[in-house]
Amino acid sequence: MLHTPRIIEGGHIGPVNSAEVPRFSGEATYALLPRLRDLPSGHQADIKVVGIPFDAGVSYRSGARFGCQHVRQSSRLLRPYNPATDTSPFAQAQVVDAGDMAVNPFNINEAIETIEHDALELTANGSSLMTIGGDHTIALPLLRAATARAGQPVAFLHFDAHLDTWDTYFGADYTHGTPFRRAVEEGVIDTEAICHVGTRGPLYGRKDLEDDRRFGFGIITSSDVFRQGVDEVVDRLRQRVGRRPLYISVDIDVLDPAHAPGTGTPEAGGMTSREILEILRGLRGLNIVGADVVEVAPAYDHAELTGIAASHVAYDLITLMADLKAGRKN
């Protein structure tokens, strides 16, 4: 039988052994991990990968509702040992694929409520969430839930080509271009410790940047990453975050369209997949309480470029979280 749960190092239920079952066969869970429902009773999940197939908040190309399944499909080649950090994330923590949330595709307000509710439920036992979108609208309810669980507004690192702090579109408050203005207004992020990374491209006007600065955001542009380099960027981010509980959101359009063509609002001049992975690895030890990767729209992808980039970003985020879980247990 394919995909029988198996015990690995650490007593955890591990991913399918691809030396025994071809990794291109069977159901595509993230990294071929066990499903949440496959865990024996009494066996707690430390990190849950969850999909949110929702894209009713997009302003340009639609299709990110298919991102979750695409990232899972593109994650089949991920192996269980991460040599960049000398860690085996799935042995250090029980990581599972919790499936997808069922959110209303016709009612954004209801969708946001469902996401917040489900995120709180999934984290009730102390699990951390690694969420796969979906468009960027979903980050607002995820931040609400992260802050509720942390007991204080979370620090927030936002990897994106765009600010996503605009006010409204067509009078709509809740869209994929507005979640972080709402998050500031709601007080669910710690404005002493929030920063965009990788922004670029034309804006509506200078006021976009002035508003954003007034909200408290720091900005490390795509150009800064190129000119200052990964190490300096990492130093700046670590200083900004300190020991606060931290949420990380990665809009895959932070990468250049050459690295991630399959997304809703692509902009030229972006980071490489190597740069983002190096920056994420530099955040090791920070108190990461949750993360997401959003805006993968497979209809515009080629040869799984975007899916592979997103699945690797998620893998390094899981590595960081697994590291923390293992540290807490030891």
Residues 277-316 contacting Mn ion, CB under 5 A: none
SS3 174: coil
Tell me the per-residue interface mask from 12 to 41 with Mn ion, x by CB under 5 A, - otherwise: ------------------------------
Is 231 marked as binding a ligand? no
Angle value at C-alpha 320, between 27 and 287, nearest 5 degrees? 130
Please identify, using beta-carbon distances, which residue of 164 and 304 lies nearer to Mn ion.
Answer: 164
Closer to Mn ion by CB, 251 or 275: give it.
Answer: 251
Q: How many CB atoms within 10 Å of residue 221?
A: 17
Is 164 among the residues that bind Mn ion (CB under 5 A)? yes
With b for 16 or more beta-carbon neighbours within 10 A and e for fewer, the 5-20 pattern comes to: beeeebebbbbbebee
Task: Tell whether residue 251 is a contact of Mn ion (CB under 5 A).
Answer: yes
Q: Is 251 annotated as a binding residue?
A: yes
Is the Cβ of residue 136 or residue 182 nearer to Mn ion in the bound state? 136
Task: Output 40 or 202, the one with its CB closest to Mn ion.
Answer: 202
The two structure tokens encoding residue 322 = 């697994």
Minimum Å gap between C-beta 295 and Mn ion is 6
136 binding Mn ion? (CB under 5 A) = yes
Q: Is residue 160 marked as binding?
A: yes
CB 305 within 8 A of CB 262: yes
Q: Which stretch binds Mn ion (CB under 5 A): 19-27, 148-156, 200-208, 248-256?
A: 248-256
The span of 158-166, 210-218, 298-306, 312-320 binding Mn ion (CB under 5 A) equals 158-166
Residue 135 touches Mn ion, criterion: CB under 5 A: no
> Closest CB to Mn ion among 252 and 322?
252
The reply to whether 162 sits in an annotated binding site is: yes
How far CA 48 is from CA of 40, 92, 108, 155, 255, in Å, comes to: 15, 14, 24, 21, 25
Structure tokens at 261: 């063509």
Strands 189-199 and 6-7: unpaired
Rounded Cα–Cα distance for residues 270 and 292 (Å): 19
Using CB under 5 A as the criterion, which residues of the chain lie in contact with Mn ion when the complex forms?
Answer: 136, 160, 164, 251
